[in-house]
Amino acid sequence: MGLLGAPKNIENFVAGRFVQTGKTFTKHSPVDGTVVGRVHEAGQQLVDAAVRAARAALDGPWGASTVPERAGLLRRIADRIEARFEDLVKAEVADTGKPLTQARTLDVARAVTNFRAFADTIAAHGLDSFITELPDGRRALNYAVGKPLGVVAVIVPWNLPLLLLTWKVAPALACGNAVVVKPSEETPSSAAVLAEIMAEAGVPEGVYNVVHGFGPGSAGEFLTTHPGIDGVTFTGESATGSAIMRAVSPRVRPVSFELGGKNAALVFADADLDKAIDGLARSTFTNTGQVCLCTERIYVERPIFDDVVAGLSAAAQAHVPGHPEDAKTTMGPLISAGHREKVQSYLRLAEQEGAKVVTGGGVPLFGDARDHGAWIEPTLWTGLTNSDRTVREEVFGPVAAIMPFDSEEDAIRLANDTDYGLAAAVWTTNLERGHRVAQRMRVGLSWVNTWFLRDLRSPFGGVGLSGIGREGGTHSLHFYSQPTNVCVHL
C-alpha cells in the first residue's frame, strides 16, 4: 500500500467541523490509478452554510481582531504546518504523484514560508496619510483605515495545490477576511489536512472553510454565484477565469486572477550555454511541466540553435520517471488520465503541424501498475512557428517548441507575439541586453539568467489572458483589504 495508505474519506470543513455529504466522488492516484480517497462533494446547501459561517466569523470577534493578533496567528499556523509537515507531504504526493523530495522542498516548505512572509508583511504594513492644504485656506487630515474585503472565495488548481492555496489564504487571513476554499477536484487532500492545522493553531470557527467539488454545476459555481461572497481569488485556466468573471459580474465583485501562460525563454548566442540549458531544463520540465511559469516556447539565436537542441534533449532524456518515494525519481506523472489526453492531443497536433519530434512524443511503459497511471515523456519539438496552435495554446505538460531567431528585435517580437503574458526568461551574458530585453517582455514576471527565483514581496501575476491583478507582499494586501478614507477638517 506504501505511501498512499488506505483510501481516505475527504470531507468538507464548515464552521470548524468536518462535514460529510451524501454524494462522493473518487480521487485516483496518477501514479498507478489506485484509489486515493472518496471526496464528499458539497452541494448548494453546504456551500451556503460555508458562506454563512464565514460571514458569522466576520461579525464575531474575528472581525475585531488586531494586526498583531493576526500576525501571531499566521506564525502559529506556520509552526503547526512544520509540526504536521510529513502529513501534508503525503497528502500532496498521494493526490499528484510528484516526487517526495519536491513536495518537501517546494510545496510544503513554501506553505510555511507563505504564512511567515505575510505575518511579516501585515505587521509592517501602513497606509498613507496626507495633510491637505487647499488654496482657499481649508486644511484637512486624510488617512485610510484598512478593512477586510469580507468573505473571500478561494478557488485553486491542482498543480501546486498547497503552495497556491496558502499563497491566497495567508494574506486573506492577515487582512482579517474569512475564506471559503474550493480546492481542485484532483487535489482535495492537503486543504483538508490544512483544516485540521487551522483548528490546532486556534483559527476561529468559520474563518477557514473548505468545500469540495467540481466547477460548473458543482461547488465552484455554487460558490462564485453566491450572493454572500465579497470577492473571488482564483488560480487556474484562463477560460475558467472568464467563466468566473461572468458568474460574479451581476453583483460586481472584485476578482484576482492568476491564469494560464505560454511562456517564452530567449537564449542569445552570448549566453552561458551550460547555465542556460540547465535553466531551460528546469523551466520546461519542473513538476512535469505543470507550473504556470513553465517555458513552452524557446527562442534560440541561430548560431547556437543546434547546441541548445542537443543539450536540452539530453536533459530531457536524463529524466527518471518513477515512484514518488524513490530517491532516483526526477519526474512524476501528469495529474490525471484526462489531462494526459489533453497533452497527447497536442502531441498529435504538433506532428500534424509539421513538428519534428526531437525527443519524447509518447508514453513511457513500465510493465507494472504504473501503466495505469498518467505518465508522459518529456517532449521537444523543432520545425514549428508562432502561427502553429501548438505554439500559441497552453499545453501544461513537459513540452516545448524550440525555434530560431536572428536578432534581438526578432526575439522580442516573437516572444511577445502571444495572447498570454505571464513570464519570460532571458539568457545572455550581456548585462545591458539582459535588462533591455527583460523590460520589453509583455509579461508580469521577467527573469534574466534564472527562472522561478522568487522574492515573496515582489509582484506576481500576468497580463492579457494570464490574469488580473498582482499577488505578493503588499500587492496581495491591496486585493484582500478595502481602505476607508477618513477626511478630518483641521
Q: Which is nearer to ligand NAD, 418 or 428 (CB)?
A: 418
Min dist CB 153 to ligand NAD, Å, is: 9
Min dist CB 466 to ligand NAD, Å, is: 6
Residues that bind ligand NAD (CB under 6 A): 155-159, 164, 182, 184-185, 214-216, 220-221, 224, 235-237, 240, 243-244, 258-261, 292, 394, 396, 422, 462, 466-467
Q: Which is nearer to ligand NAD, 235 or 476 (CB)?
A: 235
Task: Give CA 119 to chain center in angstroms.
Answer: 20
Min dist CB 342 to ligand NAD, Å, is: 9
Q: Which is nearer to ligand NAD, 113 or 313 (CB)?
A: 113
Q: Which is nearer to ligand NAD, 237 or 351 (CB)?
A: 237
d(CA 316, CA 175): 43
Min dist CB 47 to ligand NAD, Å, is: 11
d(CA 444, CA 470): 8
Min dist CB 177 to ligand NAD, Å, is: 19
**Active-site residue, from 258, 301, 353, 394:** 258
Min dist CB 80 to ligand NAD, Å, is: 24
Q: Which is nearer to ligand NAD, 148 or 472 (CB)?
A: 472
Name the residue whose CB lies closest to ligand NAD. 215
Min dist CB 379 to ligand NAD, Å, is: 18
Provide CB contacts within 8 A for 333, sequence distance 6+: 30, 31, 97, 288, 321, 340, 370, 373, 374, 375, 376
Q: Which is nearer to ligand NAD, 151 or 300 (CB)?
A: 151
Residue 258 annotated as catalytic: yes
**Active-site residue, from 175, 292, 294, 296:** 292
Q: Which is nearer to ligand NAD, 184 or 286 (CB)?
A: 184
Q: Which is nearer to ligand NAD, 182 or 297 (CB)?
A: 182
Q: Which is nearer to ligand NAD, 404 or 462 (CB)?
A: 462
Main-chain phi, psi angles of 476, to 5 degrees? -65, -40
Q: In what order do the strands lie in the sheet with 129-133?
A: 129-133, 139-148, 481-489
Min dist CB 470 to ligand NAD, Å, is: 11
H, E, C per residue of the chain: CHHHCCCEEECEEECCEEECCCCEEEEECCCCCCEEEEEECCCHHHHHHHHHHHHHHHHCHHHHCCHHHHHHHHHHHHHHHHHCHHHHHHHHHHHHCCCHHHHHHHHHHHHHHHHHHHHHHHHHCCCCEEEEECCCCCEEEEEEEEEECCEEEEECCCCCHHHHHHHHHHHHHHCCCEEEEECCCCCCHHHHHHHHHHHHHCCCCCCEEECCCCCCCCHHHHHHCCCCCCEEEEECCHHHHHHHHHHHHHHCCCEEEECCCCEEEEECCCCCHHHHHHHHHHHHHHHHHCCCCCEEEEEEEHHHHHHHHHHHHHHHHCCCECCCCCCCCCECCCCCHHHHHHHHHHHHHHHHCCCEEEECCCCCCCCCHHHHCCCCCCEEEECCCCCCHHHHCCCCCCEEEEEEECCHHHHHHHHHCCCCCCEEEEECCCHHHHHHHHHHCCCCEEEECCCCCCCCCCCECCCHHHEECCECHHHHHHHHEEEEEEEEEC
Min dist CB 141 to ligand NAD, Å, is: 39
Catalytic residues: 258, 292
